[in-house]
A and B are shown apart, each in its own frame.
Chain A
Amino acid sequence: MPAFQLTVNGRPRSVDADPDTPLLWILRDNLGLTGTKFGCGVGLCGSCTVHQGDKAVRACQVPLREAAGTAIVTIEGLAPRGLHPVQRAWIEEDVAQCGYCQPGMIMSATALLADHPHPTDAQIDAVIGEHICRCGSYPRIRQAIHRAAKGGAR
């Protein structure tokens, strides 16, 4: 199998795998980055959200071949030193219940705030509405995004 080059959390990585392998499994199984979660595998739940360049994408929908040559940031690489303001807001609002969906939520929230530093509830819903939290932490997700926006999170 051919080796693919990509940048993950600022580090160049070379991966030898089937080009159709979703980035999700490359991250989790080949690179040991299990912070990116598997929830549905078909782009419906957002648990697997990572950044590709400056966009939030569903890692289960990005084959390795399309990830090659791009820069990927996962929850582990969001704030290499300490906490990203969005992560801090998440802790302060005590958002997580089981916590499983939250890395994906945070990756989408940071991308949203980069585009809209002060998002409205409707803008938040448009993005978070593409995710699922079965524990129902939605009200706190919204509050945490507003809190991060106030603190100037990027």
Chain B
Amino acid sequence: MTSRRDFLKIAGSAGAGLVLGLRLQGKARPGAPAEPVFHPNAYLAIRPDGSALLTVPKSEMGQGVRTALPMVIAEELDLDWSRVELHQAMPGPEFLHLGTGGSTSVSTTWMILRKAGAAAREMLVAAAAQSWGVAPDQCRTEKGTVFGPGGRTSTYGELAEAAARQPVPKAPRLKAPQAFRILGRPTRRLDGPRIVTGKPLFGLDVRRPGQRFAAVLRCPVVGGTPKAWDASKALAVPGVHAVVQVPTGLAVIAEGTWPALQGREALAATVRWDEGPNAAFNSRDLENQMRSALQGPADPARKAGAAAPALAAAARVLEAEYAFPFQSHTPMEPMNATAEVRSDGATLWTGTQNPNTAQVRAAAAVGLKPERMAVNVTLLGGGFGRRSGTDFSTEAIQVAKAAGPGPIQVVWDRSDDIRHDQFHPATLHHLKAGLDGHGRIAAWSHHIAGGAVLRSWLEGQKSPGQAETEANGAWDIPYDIPALDIAFAEVQVPVPLGWWRAIEIVPNVFARECFLDEVAHATGKDPLALRLELLGRRGRVKLGGEDVDIARLRRVLELAADKAGWGRKLPAGHGLGLACHAYDRRTYMAEVAEVSVKKGQLQVHKVVAAVDCGIVLNPEGLAGQVEGGVAWGVSALFSQITFEKGRTVQENFDTFPVLRSPDMPRVEVHTVASLEAPSGMGEPPVPVCLPAVLNAVFAATGKRLRRLPILPADLA
């Protein structure tokens, strides 16, 4: 396993077997619906009353998997959508790869879920056909009912018991996408009513009998440890029970969150830290290191043609440096986990994108076998990659073990969440374009320097796939350029790094698409015309061993430009900018932004997005993801994390501002109809948004912003 791509393949490689009978645990409570009698596989079960219980094998963090994935099963099974209930998968033998990330939830599970639904449907039909003495192909299904010849009908509930005795078909017949009745229809999220009524759905809402609360005092400098402290001040706070040491710091255990936080504040006043080796780390020095790294050797991510000689021989070379800062994930629900360690095992309740790894690591931390560690996955109050980390779940189990019997909820406040994030790394980009005598790009070089997220993910190991992973979005540049030199120069950073919504593709596409805009303006070409020229009339091409359909990318670019009225006359002070990208070589995205800059104030008025992600499962969900992706992209133009003396300067939303309602642009979404396999939509709308806006700023003002975040002085 060497790159992020490999992780994603594995995450999608094996779902549960189709023949496995999942026992949905729990005794029937009085008044509760009867136990399912038909559970042909791990993904679905049908009760005698005809209601269906569908298991969701991915974590819900707002991207809509708890609606889209059940839709897939319901489609092939012809369920009555109004009678669907959800069950969240837990790690275990049936579910070895619940990891949620990389916008892969749909692409990796959709065939598995279709087969699961189709197999169950065939068994229900076989049961009905048998009881009626007719052939299965004389029957059809709709909304949880089998219809047979002569007006005979039977509901799935009535058939459930007999269906359970049917053999499980090995190769169930799947519907043709043209016949879909549930998929492709705008569908509201199933959890909507529970969310708007404030039901306990999130990790922080977990309340177990006898539950206590904890706040951990961690050294603000990563790698620092407490040298001396006086627990008596904390213990004097009413409601505080104990102070215990854990590997991440000192945990204050209390009867409520507030006493835990108050106790921690009292404890903080007494602690002396050994700040460790990173106490001098700061953003300025790091930037200088990155700049020198750009002069030195770099790991190649992709080479094509002979870039160095082509650049040397070029009639003209354009060159620029782009900078992207550290970023914090800041999901609205701060990190947290609830944990309990008993003599016979342990339990975690947490919103995690990575339940299997959380299970293995938490178990190891307290010396248990993974199967003794139950992991309940709650809804995630935002994930954005942060909850792929296992630091917060492992810490919670360590606190629970140190604190003794009973469940403990470890609550991070916002400053914990920001200071101890697994940061999206800062990067510096050096780009060069060698132009021939006609102003055509003969060679393109994009070198990136910064910390490697993959190394942090692999707990310090450098893998051969590192450059490819860190230069994602740069090496798969879709344009037809004869010579390419794309490389990554690693600079070690002492803080933990993690993938952020749309990962390294955000900074890499920002630099690439802005610099391409510079080339357009320098050669007197329209930015749209230049991109269309460089995409050319190509169809499928291989980029880094993967198929990319350039025609699909071209189509979304043309669509976005057309819908946005590219080239139209704009009010004074306004500008249009665009960008396009084939995200992870699978989701084709283009965006056109309209901005204005007046009195130094940037306003993003509108973003027109065009997307081709193959078959669209839920258009309602897709639109929401584009709106959210644009919000994330615009937000990223203004936020940054900086380090001084080994610690973040920012610790709440006053110093780490994120997008708010008045600055949210209007978003228009256009989708290309497609019968290609579905890809993902959680991340692809993000990366193109930044360069589209910045290119629009240039169009409006003539100012080329190459450094993020945008500071007030930049537009003054």
Contacts and interface: CB of A to CB of B under 8 A. Distances in A.
B8 interface: no
A101 B662 CA distance: 17
Nearest to B682: A97
Interface in B587-627: 620, 624, 627
**Candidate in B191, B195, B661 with the most chain A CB atoms within 10 angstroms:** B661
B331 A18 contact: no
B192 A44 contact: no
B624 A29 contact: no
A79 B652 CA distance: 33
B624 A97 contact: yes
A132 interface: yes
Contacts of B62: 96-99, 135
A45 B413 CA distance: 13
A107 B192 CA distance: 16
Nearest to B60: A98
A74 B654 CA distance: 26
**Candidate in A21, A36, A98 with the most chain B CB atoms within 10 angstroms:** A98
A142 B411 CA distance: 32
Given A21-B258, A41-B413, A35 B198 contact: yes
A6 interface: no
B667 interface: yes
A128 B662 CA distance: 8
Given A39-B333, A136-B630, A94 B381 contact: no
Chain B residues touching A, majority SS: loop
A91 B627 contact: no
B148 interface: no
Given A39-B332, A125-B661, A136-B632, A98 B198 contact: no
B361 interface: no
Interface residues of B, number: 64
B46 interface: no
Interface in A1-39: 1, 17-18, 21-22, 25, 28-30, 32-39
Given A1-B238, A40-B653, A128-B661, A96 B196 contact: yes
Contacts of A44: 652-654
B628 A135 contact: yes
B257 interface: yes
A109 B667 CA distance: 22
Contacts of A136: 627-632, 635, 659, 664
B151 interface: no
Interface string B367-404: 00000000000011111100000000000000000000
Contacts of B379: 98-99
A96 B192 contact: yes
Given A37-B332, A39-B333, A76 B197 contact: yes
A90 B191 CA distance: 12
A96 B191 contact: yes
B303 interface: no
B521 interface: no
**Candidate in A100, A102, A125, A138 with the most chain B CB atoms within 10 angstroms:** A100
Chain A residues touching B, majority SS: loop
Contact of B627 (A41, A100, A137): A137
B63 interface: yes
B543 to A, nearest CB: 30
Nearest to A75: B198
B664 to A, nearest CB: 4
Interface in B54-100: 60-64
Given A76-B198, A125-B661, A140 B258 contact: no
B661 A140 contact: no
Contacts of B381: 37, 98-100
A147 interface: no
B239 to A, nearest CB: 7
A83 B664 contact: no
B205 interface: yes
Contacts of B413: 38, 41
Nearest to B201: A99
Contacts of A94: 188-189, 192, 620, 624
B170 interface: no
A144 to B, nearest CB: 10
B213 interface: yes
Contacts of A97: 62-64, 624, 628
Interface residues of A, number: 60
Interface string B548-587: 0000000000000000000000000000000000000000
A152 interface: no
B268 interface: no
Contact of B332 (A17, A41, A133): A133
Given A37-B381, A44-B653, A100-B202, A134 B188 contact: no
Nearest to A136: B631
Nearest to A122: B662
B262 to A, nearest CB: 8
B193 interface: yes
B438 interface: no
B204 A37 contact: yes
A124 B660 CA distance: 12
Interface in B248-264: 255-259, 262
**Candidate in A30, A101, A132 with the most chain B CB atoms within 10 angstroms:** A132
Contacts of B330: 134
Given A97-B62, A103-B198, A132-B658, A18 B332 contact: no
A101 B201 CA distance: 13
B496 interface: no
Given A76-B198, A83-B193, A97-B628, A41 B380 contact: no
B258 A139 contact: no
A40 B200 CA distance: 19
B414 interface: yes
A137 B202 CA distance: 18
A100 B411 CA distance: 16
Given A35-B199, A39-B414, A98-B331, A139 B629 contact: no
Interface in A107-150: 124-125, 128-129, 131-142
Contact of A100 (B192, B382, B631): B382
B559 to A, nearest CB: 21
Contacts of A98: 60-62, 331-333, 379-383
Nearest to A1: B238
Given A98-B332, A125-B661, A41 B196 contact: no
B101 interface: no
Given A83-B196, A125-B661, A137 B628 contact: yes
A50 B428 CA distance: 44
Interface in B491-524: none
A91 to B, nearest CB: 5
B525 interface: no
26 contacts: A1-B238, A17-B258, A21-B258, A22-B258, A25-B257, A38-B333, A40-B652, A44-B653, A44-B654, A45-B332, A90-B196, A91-B188, A94-B188, A94-B189, A96-B189, A96-B191, A98-B62, A98-B379, A99-B379, A125-B662, A129-B660, A129-B662, A134-B384, A134-B658, A135-B628, A136-B627
Q: 5 closest Cβ contacts across the A-B interface?
A: A35-B198, A136-B631, A100-B381, A98-B62, A97-B62
Given A38-B204, A47-B332, A139-B667, 8 more contacts: A21-B258, A37-B332, A42-B414, A42-B654, A100-B381, A103-B198, A131-B661, A132-B332
Interface of B: 60-64, 188-189, 191-193, 195-202, 204-205, 207, 213, 238-239, 255-259, 262, 330-334, 379-384, 411, 413-414, 620, 624, 627-632, 635, 652-654, 658-662, 664, 666-667
